[in-house]
Structure 1
């Protein structure tokens, strides 16, 4: 064999070896990435006690109820834009014990997926027909609830009509968080919603606006600050204490006859401040502070929707004849 032939053979073997090595490396890398993805997904699901798997109201009688905001985060990661567990079965028919379907309304920058992975299955397990919607944002957007509040109330009105038509119920109960506990009041007062609503339960609702420790007012004091807020979050401006929207909403009193109101608040709220801004005053109105029920409850504004103490009070408001009390250690942000 000539030297040149040996050289070509050696180069060919080297090239072949490098090609095989490269292919093997890519295959191994691909397998490692796939394994890593599976591991991450499994870890998130297990941390959330499998509470992020979507379902419908009639599909099970005992959904898992994870009292952790991690369940909402996992649901958003794994099933973005999905209805919360136990919600939006439009074939559900209310029972005699619970004749009113429950409509869940998320807060500013929230959505139905990350907000209701605890309350929705809890309600379904207790025999309610449960429904949830996104509003006040572009369809498919992670962030919702930042748009004009009267327009959002119009979306709620259309959704309530759809729920009533599907279920045959005469009225709905509404449970909302933050803006979602206040915005339905516009629907009730201004859009003909009063005859369609039996109970409104607000979890840390922005009923009289918020100073947000003065940050909203501070931002609006800067040149262009108000324009920035208006263009990026109209609902934020409208929820500022003393805004034209807030003044008009509360001008003729907080409540409307014929509707029952319950407010559930926390002393550790950092979003709706001061605490008294959440309260309503009028007939058929109950204001609850969770720390008055349970001293070990440290839920803040976010954790309240994954707080078993607060959510027990939601059940009590919807069904006062079977009211119960619970107490647990509840952490800020995470819930419990």
Structure 2
């Protein structure tokens, strides 16, 4: 299986009625923050080829670091467009970088991360094993954006031996405790059938609402597992995973980073913190290699 190609699980739900296409469009909006928009970035039929052209998802990669990096995209994104900024940044610093598509739904070839998170977790498990087999490494480091920062915790807690295969999880704007979406999720209690309609289109959306059964179960016995280093990187201007402090993990050994504490001039929102924010990228690099970490400040907005 080529890197970046993690097929949808057999139990994926069939395509839904056209009225739910609007939700897919809304999910695509954050990707338009990239120059040229999502359509141009995702144009190649083979996302793996596009990534290889950018220096990542290369089976022949020779790393300057002991652990390859696996990038886990967010809801409505994909293995290429979500990482057009961070992946080359890490490749330039000597990392072997790999990204996967997960959570695919029939009829949506560009927008992924929509299927049941439990199934996406299994796709991540298979991809990590593939990367380890290809590179010969003992462990990988995981870097995820939005759902991609939360879903790996399900993998680590529910797949036997997963914690032994991962050195660090670096979560950028993760839906750790779900989201209120600036209070809009309260509408689920106001309009009968709305929750079922959203779940019918994309189970992952409803699973990331604050108080969901999925998150309640995931977080019930703690957020972390022994042996894995955790970092959370957030922005106070996040308009998708709200309130922004709900992204942090209040457990021993977890490093929680608010970009505005490092530079008050940083104005990144939910999309840009993972797509283009050089301060966030610098913090990712610091977390991947703490021994060579350098303080992040306003200079890194443009560096």
Task: Say yes or no: TM over 0.5.
Answer: yes
Check if 1:181 corresponds to 2:146.
Answer: no
1:139-159 deviations in Å (ceiling 9; x for gaps): 771110011001000000000
2: CA distance, partners of 1:138 / 1:244: 22
Check if 1:113 corresponds to 2:80.
Answer: yes
Contact 1:149 1:235 in 2 (8 A): yes
SS at match of 2:226: coil
Aligned residue in 2 for 1:63: none
Give the direction of change, closer, same or farther, for the CA distance of 1:217–1:169 in structure 2 (3 Å limit): same
Q: Which range moved further: 137-146 or 186-195?
A: 137-146
Contact 1:210 1:241 in 2 (8 A): yes
Contact 1:262 1:286 in 2 (8 A): yes
Contact 2:125 2:159 in 1 (8 A): yes
Quick one: which of 228, 235, 247 aligns to 2:216?
Answer: 247
Give the direction of change, closer, same or farther, for the CA distance of 1:321–1:311 in structure 2 (3 Å limit): same
Aligned residue in 2 for 1:18: none
Contact 2:177 2:246 in 1 (8 A): yes
2: CA distance, partners of 1:143 / 1:123: 24
Aligned residue in 2 for 1:82: 47
1:34-75 deviations in Å (ceiling 9; x for gaps): xxxxxxxxxxxxxxxxxxxxxxxxxxxxxxxxxx72166375
- TM-score normalised by the chain length of structure 2: 0.82
RCO higher in structure (CA 8 A, sep ≥6): 2
Check if 1:211 corresponds to 2:176.
Answer: no
Q: Which has the larger radius of gyration?
A: 1
Extract unaligned runs of 5+ from structure 1. 1-67
Deviation above 4 Å: which 4+ runs of structure 1? none
Aligned residue in 1 for 2:232: 263
Aligned residue in 1 for 2:191: 222
Question: CA offset at residue 212 of structure 1?
Answer: 0.7
1:205-264 deviations in Å (ceiling 9; x for gaps): 001111112212313531210111111110111111111111111111111110000000
Quick one: which of 272, 278, 294 aligns to 1:308?
Answer: 278
Give the direction of change, closer, same or farther, for the CA distance of 1:72–1:115 in structure 2 (3 Å limit): farther
Extract unaligned runs of 5+ from structure 2. 1-32
Aligned residue in 1 for 2:91: 124
What is the alpha-carbon root mean square deviation over aligned residues?
2.1
Give the direction of change, closer, same or farther, for the CA distance of 1:296–1:236 in structure 2 (3 Å limit): same
1: CA distance, partners of 2:253 / 2:94: 24
Contact 2:68 2:140 in 1 (8 A): yes
Contact 1:182 1:202 in 2 (8 A): yes
SS at match of 2:230: strand
